[in-house]
Amino acid sequence: MLSQTSEYALRALLFLAEQDRKKSTGADVIAAAVGIPASYLAKVLQPLVRSGVLHSSRGRNGGFALAVPPSQLMLERIIKPFDDNSGRRHCLLGRPTCSDRTACAVHLAWKSTGERIARFFRTTSLAQVRGPVGRLTLGV
Amino acid sequence: MLSQTSEYALRALLFLAEQDRKKSTGADVIAAAVGIPASYLAKVLQPLVRSGVLHSSRGRNGGFALAVPPSQLMLERIIKPFDDNSGRRHCLLGRPTCSDRTACAVHLAWKSTGERIARFFRTTSLAQVRGPVGRLTLGV
DNA sequence: TGAAATTCGGACCCACGTATCCGATTTCAC
DNA sequence: GTGAAATCGGATACGTGGGTCCGAATTTCA
């Protein structure tokens, strides 16, 4: 459903949403907490810094922090740099252009389900996502 | 959403559903019709022969044909040999086990959407999928 | 001012899905 | 029967995402 990299990004930000936004959290701390190879995490978070979702600070006590309140941060914005097949997810047959006018064979049947998926990522915020589980149950 | 291979399988079977089920259609004919590399198509359809969805005949005038009426052939059965992450699609964070009892962080928020996707593939038949478009508009 | 901590960015490696090719095997037509 | 046509099945190449590593740049603390 999501690429491995998007999954990592989502898990990392879920963790960051629980931390104090004033302080930045080191990459190794995040990696250990959510079960991501530490050497890979920097590569994952970097695009999110560029897109303005995260704020990163260098030097001692540096690290990453959310640049946006979790209640205003939609999931779509988190996964966009990685799964930017957002245009591809809407057509089951993977056609670049597939609309009501230029429909593929399965367009009509798939339409409502595809729209529902898109709506989920577009309208669900990081803050809404935290389930009733007390302690976050992330991957593994 | 679907792997490339699943996509190919779906397109090929959509084409076969339009053909006479009594006759078998050559792999090269199918490949040309739906825009799949001919040399790859055999490898794609082979697992579906083994799983009983297709019937293949060798020799002159051989080829592939549906072994199941399109109205009874659910999409899930077509993509299962390729995307058997059916167990992975239900959990956004990719946890192998993720149920109401052992929920991941996003379980509650994702649940209804994930179930809807699963239901689509489980209950939609090949026959239902053909849209109002007269001539099948497949890939490309 | 220097040393330590930390991100940044690129070079590199690996696995797997995708794709190609070719010989072996089977079947039909004559 | 014999030969042509076709699938089958495995060996092999390719490309991209996933993952590691290391040096450069930057900031803080002593």
> What secondary structure does DSSP assign to A81-128, as a single string?
TT---HHHHT-TT--S---SSS--TTHHHHHHHHHHHHHHHHH-BHHH
pLDDT for the residue B20: 85
pLDDT band per the 50, 70, 90 thresholds, residue A133: very low
Residue B112 pLDDT: 93
**Cα separations (Å) of B75 from A4, A18, A48, B84?**
25, 40, 36, 13
Express the helix, strand and coil content of chain A in percent, nearest 5 each: 50, 10, 45
| HSE-CB for A97 with a 13 A CA cutoff | 2
Give the chain B residue nearest A7 (alpha carbons): B93
Is the CB of residue A41 inside 7 Å of nucleic acid strand C?
Answer: no
Q: What distance in Å separates the CA atoms of residue B86 and residue A111, rounded to the nearest whole number?
A: 20
Instruction: Give long-range contacts, CB 8 A cutoff, 24+ apart: A28-35.
Output: A29/A63, A30/A63, A30/A64, A33/A138, A34/A8, A34/A138, A34/A139, A35/A11, A35/A138, A35/A139, A35/A140
Closest CA to A94 of B82, B119, B4: B4
Size of interface A-B (CB pairs under 8 A): 107
What are the per-10-residue average pLDDT scores of chain B (140 residues)?
90 90 89 89 92 89 91 94 72 81 86 92 91 46
B139 → closest Cβ in A94, A131, A138: A94
CA-nearest residue of chain A to B101?
Answer: A133
Q: Name the residue among B4, B106, B124 with its Cβ closest to that of A129.
A: B106
Q: Does B77 touch chain A (CB under 8 A)?
A: no
pLDDT of residue A44: 94
> Under an 8 A CB cutoff, do A95 and B140 touch?
yes
Q: Is A130 on the interface with B (CB under 8 A)?
A: yes
Nearest 5 degrees, angle CA B60-CA B61-CA B65? 130
Distance CA B108, CA B134 (A): 41
Q: Which pLDDT value is given to residue A134?
A: 41
Asked if pLDDT for residue A60 goes beyond 80, the answer is yes
Instruction: Tell me what percent of the residues of chain A surpass a pLDDT of 70.
Output: 89
CA distance A10 to chain B (A): 8
CB atoms within 10 A of CB B32: 12
Threshold 0.85, pTM exceeds: yes
Q: Provide the residue type at A13 as one letter.
A: L
Of residues B78 and A137, more confidently modeled = B78
Going by C-alpha positions, the residue among B140, B9, B13, B30 that lies closest to residue B83 is: B9
Contact with chain A for residue B105, Cβ under 8 A? yes
Q: Please give the nucleotide, over all strands, whose C1' is closest to the CA of residue A57.
A: C7
Q: CB within 7 A of strand D: which residues qualify? A: A 3-5, 8, 37, 39-40, 42-43, 57-62, 82; B 26-28, 42-43, 45-46, 49, 56-64
Q: Report the C-alpha gap between A11 and A4 in whole angstroms.
A: 11
For A84-116, the pLDDT digits (tens) are 765 566 788 877 778 888 788 888 899 999 999
Q: Does B61 touch chain A (CB under 8 A)?
A: no
**CA distance linking residue B77 with residue B79, whole number of Å:** 6
Q: What confidence score (pLDDT) does residue B133 get?
A: 43
Give residue A122's pLDDT.
Answer: 93
pLDDT of residue A128: 92
